Amino acid sequence: MIKLVKRYALVGLLCYCLVVLTSCNTLHGIGKDIEQLGSALQKASDRK
């Protein structure tokens, strides 16, 4: 019974780590996209 609980805890921890690592990468990508959008807006406003 204890081995089963440890196994579920390990699987849960691995899933949690996977979600955290994946979301950090995604947030980093969103940050780059927002930065590019800001640069495009600056360039567009400089033209006028």
Residues 6+ apart with CB under 8 A from 36: none
**Over residues 22-29, mean pLDDT:** 73
Calpha distance 33→27 (Å, rounded): 10
Tell me: pLDDT of 47 over 70: yes
Portion of the chain with pLDDT greater than 90, in percent: 15
Calpha distance 12→18 (Å, rounded): 10
pLDDT, residue 19, reads 82
Q: Give how far Cα 37 sits from Cα of 10, 26, 31, Å.
A: 41, 17, 10
